[in-house]
Structure 1
Amino acid sequence: MRDPTRRENRLLAAPAVIFLLAMLGFPALLDLLYSVSTVSFENLRAPELSGFGNYRAVLQDPYFWNAVSFSTHFGLLTAALETGLGLFLAVFLSPLIQKRFWLMAVLMMPMVIAPSMMGLMYRLVLHEFVGPLPYYLYEFFGQSPAFLSPKRAFATLVVIETLQWTPFTLLLFYTAYSAIPADIREAARVDGTRGLRLFTHIELPALLPTLLIAFAIRFIDGFRVFDNIYVLIGSGAGGSSTSLSIYIYTAFFKSADIGKALAASVLLFAVAFALLWLLGRLLRRRVRA
């Protein structure tokens, strides 16, 4: 006998699925078509199929692999920092936020700012000649590091990204931490489990699915980062700060190599899809266990 609830869920989800197919399906198919075609702005309406030459050109391009390396390191480091800091702040500030929930709105403010505006703001603040931070460092200490130089640009970008998006993980972890049933904590305390042992043996396992989700979301977002880096420093000296998204943008708009750019974008989409699929499998295994 068929489950009526399952049929009802499908009917309720149908409008959203149809909307997503209409809005995202056609552009995705068009990207796939262009990625295996010789295409430019002159023949956008009549691309010439050329096989997988664009993918071969992308995979043989050293600048592509430099961009992949930059995006991977940037995504992993920022995701780890944001996840760790968000978890620490959620646990540490939980009693204070429960009493004064308006503090959460204050903590969320960096996340509300558009990344491009954040990049522009820090570009003005950290500018070597007109920035207030280098000026005051030089006034008080007699010297100031060049925050946007090739040697320090990566660390500066990581710090800026972490400061902006740690509130996102804080919100996720605070919600999950607050949802842990109080009777579980009380039972653990009755058995003598307190402090760090309570956190590592009771609370942290309950937060593990949220940890995985937060890390995956922040890694994907860091891996495809574009706007704040492009506004702050661009592709950097010798392409030192070229993320995969900046590589695609440069190939598309500056080099007019549309097929190559879309081939790289398909590879980026494949990586993001594979990570989300792997995360889904891990979560399903945990639910079954």
Structure 2
Amino acid sequence: MAIVNRAEGRLYFTPLVGFLLLFLGFPAIVNLVYSVSTVNFETLRSPTITGFGNYLSVLGDREFWRSVSFSMRFGIVTALAECLIGLFLAIFLAPLLARRSVLMAPLMLPLMVAPAMVGLMYRLVLHEFAGPVPYYLFEWFGDSPAFLDVNNAFRTLVVVEVLQWTPFAFLLFYMAYVAIPLDVREAAALDGATSFKALWWIELPLMLPTLTIAFFIRFIDGFRVFDNVYALTGSGAGGSTTSLSIYIYHAFFKQGAIGKAVAASVLLFLASLVVLCVLNWLAGLRRR
């Protein structure tokens, strides 16, 4: 019986495995070949394998490490801000949403807008000469910061990213918060626990897996950010807002260094894979 069930299990997995091999396996193999080859747009069909020179070129490029530094700082700061604000909103608004669940819809609206459109919108709103925000700041206070210059661009990008993606963290945390059994809260109240102690010692530990998963998901998304940053500032003054994804884009389309760009994308994939492995390891610890 066990043998039959095992055979049926393999049969059920066959379509999924076939899909992964067709749509992910083949492009991955092509990318690996390109990453160790000398290739351009004229030789895409016949790349010349030359070894790991592309990886050495990427690892020796100061702009690559600068983009990694930007992506790392951006991913950590935005993930922390989104999770902290989302957690606060989830706990603070839980009583209101329990009575008026329809209010959840407007809170999710930022998630419905494409990140590139968000970047273009804020580019117009914050434009130094045509944007309404600098105009009114100048009218009311006599001065306005340059939101998109080299000194303020990082903070501006962080604020824009947090404004758009905090609802995602809020939704996860709210569902985890309301899923805590009522009898747990009642038992804590009978034991004399205050609301703060119940939150700190009971509710937050129960929400910890969701908090951890949400942080890593938002970190990965922030680390590989491209569209809204590219639409808002591009690579920035002197490359100050060049994320790793923008670095790969420039190497591929503007420099024509396909092998170098693909090698950088493989490194980005490996970095994301490491984060996912850490997340899976933490989940395994939690289950054990």
TM-score, normalising length from structure 2?
Answer: 0.97
Q: CA deviation at 1:65?
A: 0.3
- Within a 5 Å distance, the mapping from 1:257-272 to structure 2 comes to 257-272=257-272
Q: Give, as a single letter, the amino acid of the residue that structure 1 aligns with 2:156.
A: T
The residue that corresponds to 2:246 in the other structure is 246
Matches of 1:283 and 1:73, distance apart in 2? 25
Deviation track 1:53-96 (CA, whole Å, cap 9, x = no partner) reads 00000000000000000000000000000011111111111111
CA 1:5–1:81: 2 relative to 1, 3 Å = farther
Cα pair distance change 1:272/1:48, threshold 3 Å: same
With over 3 angstroms needed to count, the CA separation of the structure-2 counterparts of 1:92 and 1:9, relative to structure 1, is farther
Distance 1:147 1:3, change over 3 A: farther
3-state SS of the aligned residue for 1:88?
helix
Counterpart CA distance in 2 for 1:83 and 1:27 is: 34
Q: What are the residue-to-residue correspondences of 1:22-33 with 2, within 5 Å?
A: 22-33=22-33
Name the structure 1 match of 2:57: 57
Post-superposition CA distance 1:236-268 (Å, at most 9, x none): 111000000000000000000000000000000
Q: Structure 1 residues 239, 283: CA separation in 2 closer, same or farther (over 3 Å shift)?
A: same
Partner of 1:186: 186
Q: Which amino acid aligns with 2:139?
A: E
Q: In 1, distance between residues paired with 2:185 and 2:78?
A: 31
Unaligned runs of 5+ residues in structure 1 are none
Determine the structure 1 residue equivalent to 2:214. 214
The residue that corresponds to 2:139 in the other structure is 139
1:200 corresponds to which letter in structure 2? W
Aligned to 1:169: 169
Post-superposition shift, 1:229? 0.6
The SS at the match of 1:184 is: helix
Query: Which residue in 2 is equivalent to 1:125?
Result: 125
**Residue aligning to 2:78:** 78
Aligned-partner SS, 2:169? helix
SS of corresponding position for 2:149: coil
Counterpart for residue 159 of structure 1: 159
Following superposition, the deviation at residue 146 of structure 1 comes to 0.6
Q: Which residue does the alignment assign to 1:256?
A: 256
2: distance between equivalents of 1:9 and 1:133? 59
C-alpha change, 1:148 and 1:175, in structure 2 (3 Å) is: same
Partner of 2:46: 46
> Which shows bigger deviation, 43-52 or 92-101?
92-101
Work out the percentage of aligned pairs sharing the same amino acid.
62
CA–CA distance in 2 between the matches of 1:38 and 1:12?
41
RMSD: 1.4
**Which stretches in structure 2 are left out of the alignment for 5+ residues?**
none
How many residues end up aligned between the 2 structures?
A: 288
Partner of 1:235: 235
Aligned partner letter, 2:113:
I
